[in-house]
Amino acid sequence: MEISNQNITVWFSCGAASAIAAKKTIELYGQSNTVTVVNNPVIEEHPDNVRFLKDVQDWLGQKIHISKNSKYPNCSAVEIFDKRKYMGGIAGAPCTQLLKKGARLEWEKTHDIDWHVLGFTYEEKSRSERFMFTERSNLIPVLIDLEITKNDCYNIITKAGLQLPEIYTLGYPNANCIGCVKATSPTYWNHVRKMHPKTFEQRAKQSRRIGAKLVRVKNKRIYLDELKVTDKGRPMKSMNIECGIFCEEK
């Protein structure tokens, strides 16, 4: 795609794919366009995500801007769950709607955006197309056009001398919040229980209080405090739960 004198916004989620999307966008379009990189923070993400953001900022050679929903300045998903008395289900996750999409919409009100870039990798062409159909048609699928996969992103980050976010080394599939309420797999939640027991306990108590059955076992929704350590679902590596301005569980 050839464009010039346009405003391109890259939505950086502190994950490997969005980092490479930002890098490639700057390389391909930065000379003749204005490329702005923006992050929507959530405090329940792993604290090492902040370190990764700073490293990527230095690597890109430009500032990564922070966009928040002014109605939720603490950027806390847990706080939103209590206020909304809802954690996740058919209507989606309120943390995504308010801390990600809401922050993005607020940014759009004060900044001109001709094109959006997200970290959709080559395997995620259908997600990219769905985003263009349901959210914004003015998307540049940078990684898809370059046929860059998720594993390619990990390799590019490593070869550049950057350290991936610690959340990946702990066995999680993406750099989302720990205890992501969009996940329904017992495999995922038992991994949270093993790696972050305090977070698991917090989600279990809050979901019971609110009445949210977050996990699915044998096609039946149950509360987290009902989940057995022996319950299993899909392997973690096959899960795809990614949080950005477009978020879904597959």
Q: pLDDT digits over 139-184, tens only?
A: 999 999 999 999 999 999 999 999 999 999 999 988 889 999 999 9
61-70, 171-180, 185-194, 237-246: which range is least confident on average? 237-246
- How high is the pLDDT of residue 243? 58
CA distance 54 to 213: 36
State the first-to-last Cα distance of the chain, in angstroms, to the nearest integer: 29
225 in any annotated domain:
no
Is residue 10 classed as helix, strand or coil in its secondary structure?
Answer: strand
Who has greater pLDDT, 211 or 237? 211
Contacts of 41 (CB under 8 A, 6+ apart): 66, 68, 75, 99
234 in any annotated domain:
no
**How many folded domains does the chain comprise?**
1
237 in any annotated domain:
no
Q: Is the pLDDT of residue 190 over 50?
A: yes
Q: Which amino acid is at 93?
A: A
217 in any annotated domain:
no
Q: What is the pTM of this model?
A: 0.89
155 in any annotated domain:
yes
> 242 pLDDT band (50/70/90 cuts)?
low
Contacts of 168 (CB under 8 A, 6+ apart): 16, 154, 175
For residues 97-119, give the mean pLDDT: 95
- Structure tokens, 39: 């992050």
Read off φ and ψ for residue 27, nearest 5 degrees: -65, -40
CA distance 228 to 163: 34
Q: What share of the chain is helix, strand, coil (3-state, %, to 5)?
A: 45, 10, 40
Q: The CATH number of the domain where 126 resides is what?
A: 3.40.50.620
CA-nearest of 230, 231, 249, 228 to 239 is 249
pLDDT in tens, 53-105: 999 999 999 999 999 999 999 999 999 999 999 998 777 899 999 999 999 99
45 in any annotated domain:
yes
Q: Is the pLDDT of residue 220 over 50?
A: yes
Q: Is the pLDDT of residue 119 over 90?
A: yes
196 in any annotated domain:
no
Q: Is the pLDDT of residue 245 over 60?
A: no
205 in any annotated domain:
no
Domain interval for residue 64: 7-166
- How high is the pLDDT of residue 250? 36
